[in-house]
Structure 1
Amino acid sequence: MIVEIKVPTPGESISEVELASWIVSDGDIVEKDQELAEIESDKATLSLLATEAGKVKLLVEAGETVAVDSVACSVDTDFAGEAKSKTAPAKEETKAESKKEIETPKEAIKTKETLEHSNAKVSPLAQKLMDEAGMNADDIINGLKRISTKEVELVKGLPAESTVSNSPSSTFVDAVAGREVERQKMTTLRKKLSQRLVSVKNETAMLTTFNEVDMSAVMALRKKYQSKFIDTHGVKLGFMSFFIKAASLALKHHPMVNAMIDQEEIVMPEYHDVSVAVQTPKGLMVPVIRNVETQGLHDLELSLKGLAEKARKGKLGIEEMTGGTFTVTNGGVFGSMLSTPIINPPQSAIMGMHNIVERPVAVNGKVEIRPIMYLALSYDHRIIDGKDSVGFLVKVKEMIEDPAKLLQGGFNPEELVLGL
């Protein structure tokens, strides 16, 4: 029986998507619920799954734009039983062939190369990528041995002595002499992101205000309770959860920062759905943590971990990407000292965290070295005034520098006792 696999819908407003890449080849035997392809829209990346086991027939080319609910491929279920039966014999056949071919002089050389390549120095990050792809150093080096016309033309244009010299200096010259240009097609997600960023600059009165935060108290708290936090909640305590929680409490004091413009009305949600910017290989994504005002630090850490993993694997759904009321982004993980983050529409404000650097600061009339982070708040000046924007950052600063205030809703405990 032939079963049609249709393109899923990423959302109500999306009628077309791009079939980014096929994970299987035409004629492959697939299992039920196996991932067949990656589909990109202007909001999220989805997976195309096999609804039944059998032989797959591809009907759409990779990179092609297709309509939602159109047929991307079909599965012939008559071949469903061959998926597992073909696996074991194939492995045995491969082993037999490889054992036989090793006896030839040509394969003996290849075996020697494999041993040499196994001693190649590999960086930890490269090793991680190789492990994830199920590859080794021999696979990588052999993959680089294909000579294309580009390499031939490059060598033809070099001086004669450069083509025969194996000295380190000639290798360096060869590397510098290259003037190749790589071109990549923009993904649907990247194109939509670029359009949104430009529209924000053109359609909002964006302004950025800054402040600095002494991270000493939070860093000491993490150091003291990190192991106990992991044992209790099964997740590490990071900095993001402190800032997200502090931002939520600060939004209660300055609700206009959580507001947004809807035509001629100002909408002020009483809940805080915080979008968190996550950098992925396919572009910037901003999954949403719902109702931050009701969550503790451990809840936020678990949510952050889950959303970040799904974002990097391209598994975020459309419901996890929409509906945020405020955004937090952390450029500090890349070493950023200061920046002016761009608002994530239709929201009206975004808070940017940066790297932590030891700086000399005045404390009680004396100069001390403290771990300092610069905070930035970009906001739409059409509805958020300077009083709210500056006051918001000051409130976040107070709670980070005195984490006990997170328990009192951002208020000073002494003032609460006195009823002030």
Structure 2
Amino acid sequence: MDPAKQAFLHGLFDAAVTAADAEAALRAHLPDRPKGRVVVVGAGKGAAQLAAAFERLWDGPLTGVVVTRYGYGAPCKHIRVMEASHPVPDAAGAKATAALFGAVAELGPDDLVVALICGGGSALLPAPLEGLTLEDEQALNQALLASGAPIGVMNAIRKHCSAIKGGRLAAAAHPARVVSLVVSDVPGDDPAQVASGPTVPDHVSLSDARAMIEARGIVLPTQIMAHLAGDTGTAPSPTDAVFTGNEVHVIASARLSLEAAARAAQAQGIGAVILSDAIEGEARVIGQMHAAIAREVATQGHPFTPPVVILSGGETTVTLNGAGGRGGRNSEFLLSFANEIDGVAGITALAADTDGIDGSEDNAGAFADGQTAAAMRAAGVAPDDALRRNDAWGAFDAADSLFVPGPTGTNVNDLRAILVGELP
């Protein structure tokens, strides 16, 4: 693979991540100082970096607690940073959830709660409702991750099984005012979907969640299904008076990061097009679609003229088949893509999660070009078989094509960047 092309795509990733920088994103959205206390709460893979940036920017006393993924912490002076498991919840997450509730307890109308919310918070905030256990919530998360359901469906189900999601943390903070500052990692940038909306309620009812499960044939643990069949999991409505006066601001998103990547490409004399920031669907199918576009550009020169970078964002899904492979949605997307461009010259691609971690492995994603599938075969890995087994990590590891930038401190969903043509 051409090192210059790899470096070019890596630069686009860096531009996208920089556009979601915690301090820059927060600076324009600082709330007015209240008469009373300021309490900061938060959850997500970039929550610690958001908390540290908020401390640097805030002119006044504050306290608080945020939870992030193991290894994603950042030093804070006044805000307690806790770490827990992602993507499957653990006891540390339950302890952190209790700490967040404790932080907002017994506040008054003159107090302010600043909620720093970003992707990954759903798993980091386990809080099973009465009648459910942490083990039930773990089993729910595992079932949803394996189901291939889009993030909106997963979050609709999660919030009706949780004591903190669906706006319940904001309700617990009442009568204090809650200002939610959200880094969106979901298609469409609906803040109620980020981290399943611990401080942002939505209108998706319990009956809606049941209908989603039935329509998609999602298989959930027996205890969860029994709970959802009752009426004890209904999340609060956005019209509830406890949310009056609260504010919600999306301060960074996939769209802004894609636009930054496009500008970075154009600055180097490469045209750039953004397909969409909200692409959803099965990762391997979306990989085939992107490959078809790239092949058309490479071989026919339309609908875009090379050299050009094709950019897209959103959150694909992977339906696990139980074969025990390793990888995440970006790696699976790119393995499918690599199969479809096998032997085609002039195409180089990067697919990566902007938080720096794809699924449960240590890579953000991977690189691929027209020779990647051949490199896998030369290393003894059949790409088609690896895709069947959901073992994209193993295939790209064998081809020495993994992309491992480390945790980035932010999370605005996935970045797919496909360079068609040659660099100037």
User: TM-score, normalising length from structure 2?
Assistant: 0.24
Higher share in strand? 1
Larger radius of gyration: 1
* Greater length-normalized contact order (CA 8 Å, ≥ 6 residues apart): 2
User: TM-score, normalising length from structure 1?
Assistant: 0.24
